[in-house]
Structure 1
Amino acid sequence: MRRLVLFLALSLTACVELPPQTGGGPVVAGQEGPANTPEEAARAFTEVSRAVKPRAVEECRRRTRNVNCDFLIVVDPDPRAPVNAFQSLDDDGRPVLTFTVSMIASVRNQDELAFVMSHEAAHHIKGHLDRQAENAAAGAAIFAELATITGGNDAAVENAQKIGAVVGARSYSKEFELEADELGTIITARAGYNPIVGAEFFSRLPDPGDRFLGTHPPNAERIEIVRRTATQVGF
């Protein structure tokens, strides 16, 4: 059951998904129009990565114990992959921050890219994957117990485990996102970027509202967290 629960929990980790963009390309700092070439976008991504990673490592080491803080920042080269960025762990437990090509092409400036990168790093520092897996395991166990008590057969119990894992994994997902927004704001600022400008990408996210078992909090709530935290760090 642990393997099933872990799979279901990690399948919910897609974090920053934007609707497809039409026209234009990435915008680098100091430009008002889209970058002219993919090479320019690659240079901007490399520059932001070099600025954000050391600050993320510092925050990770300062806030955690016995946690791998050696972030690996990678690009998913699949041009068909949706606009997305997410945090995961490799087989050795190293934190990996993955950006799809379409995600890099969708940001309008380096502040946005730095904020998204810092947000994903914050998920690792806060231990959200482990906490999500624990919640999923608890939900799966509770739902399986209920199915067993009510006389469910093996198929019913397995289905209850799946549903419970999803419910458990989503129980605190909104809180996790707000925690990542707060710490991501701090990392962004310390990397030399403006988190308030960076968080403007929320304006392009479909607002999830405050749905029961939704995976993300309302956009206005996220922006307020960023602004309040940015004020505390001098923006």
Structure 2
Amino acid sequence: MMWRFAIVLLLAGCGEVVVGPSPDPQRDAPEVARSARAAEASFRRAAGRIEPVAEQVCRTRNPDFGVRGCDYRFQMSTDPRLGQNAFQTIGEDGRPQVVFTLSLLQVMRNDDEVAFVLAHEAAHQVRRHVLRASAQQRLGATLLGTLAAASGTASDESVRAAAGFGAFLGRRAYSKQFEFEADALAVRIARAAGYDPIRGAAPFARFETGSNAFLATHPPSADRLARIEAVAGR
């Protein structure tokens, strides 16, 4: 769930875990890109507070994940090939990993924004989006591949192409809904960690990261911000 320039945020419902707020010495950063040192400090502060909340939410919602399945590893990457991104994945050891690139951190204005991105990526894993997307991908490939083969006139290459397109459609089918779900849960995680989710979602007002186009992976920023504000209001 890559975060293209600016941001991709996620949220979904869950019971709140309260962690007392602590002061943020650099709550508001300059409009221009922050220094690497300031960005890293912001990441470490936010990660330190989001991680225990995300882990408790994960354990509560997914008791079948076991110890490693909810043992988050938050990492900052300086690899220029990743661009301005944040994403989550599952490591070979079974632990969920959230990676935030330094270049994206440098355009975040405050700790609330960094915390919201971290909460959003963690929420994807809590909501089983990787597993659900993979299942949909396999189903789409099977359905279209089977239909192509059943025609009796399709070549092996055509069947493979149909299966590939089916996998693509299957993975995209609910991608926008996954973003809304992650956004909703991120609101709760961020707030429970002592951050302001509305302030954290401010980049949606600055950057357009989605579209209503057919098969677009992310919904329009305005739609996401409206839903985030509604969840936060509740």
What TM-score, normalized by structure 2, do the two folds share?
A: 0.85
Q: Are 1:17 and 1:205, in contact at CA under 8 Å, matched by a contact in 2?
A: no
CA pair 34-209 structure 1, distance change in 2 beyond 3 A: closer
RMSD: 1.9
After superposition, the C-alpha distances for 1:47-87 in whole angstroms (9 at most, x for unaligned) are 11001001111111111121111011112221342111111
**2:43 aligns with one of 27, 42, 45:** 45
How do 1:122-201 residues align onto structure 2 when only pairs under 5 Å count?
122-150=123-151, 151-201=153-203
Consecutive aligned runs of 4 or more in structure 1 exceeding 6 Å deviation: none
Structure 1 unaligned residues grouped into runs of 5+: 1-12, 21-26
Once the 2 structures are TM-superposed, how far is the Cα of residue 222 of structure 1 from its aligned partner? 0.8
Structure 1 residue 91, shift from structure 2 partner: 1.1
Number of matched pairs: 213
Does 1:17 pair with 2:4?
Answer: yes
Q: CA deviation at 1:37?
A: 3.6
Q: CA deviation at 1:158?
A: 1.3
Give the secondary-structure state (helix, strand or coil) at the position aligned to 2:134: helix
1:203 Cα offset (Å): 2.2
Structure 1 length as normaliser, TM-score? 0.85
Determine whether 1:113 maps to 2:133. no
Identity between Structure 1 and Structure 2 (%): 36
Q: Tell me the equivalent position of 1:10.
A: none
CA distance in 2, matches of 1:89, 1:148: 34
Q: Closer, same or farther in 2 for the Cα pair 1:126/1:209, shift >3 Å? A: same
For the 8 Å contact 2:36–2:102, the answer to whether it is kept is no
Report the CA distance shift for 1:34/1:19 in structure 2 as closer, same or farther (over 3 A): closer
* Gap regions ≥5 residues in structure 2: 8-24
* Residues 5-51 of structure 1, C-alpha deviations (whole Å, 9 max, x = no match): xxxxxxxx32x21269xxxxxx9414455576422221111111001
Q: 2:82 matched to which residue of 1? A: 81
CA distance in 2, matches of 1:19, 1:225: 18
Q: Which moved more, 1:173-182 or 1:157-166?
A: 157-166
Aligned counterparts of 1:80 and 1:136: Cα–Cα separation in 2: 27
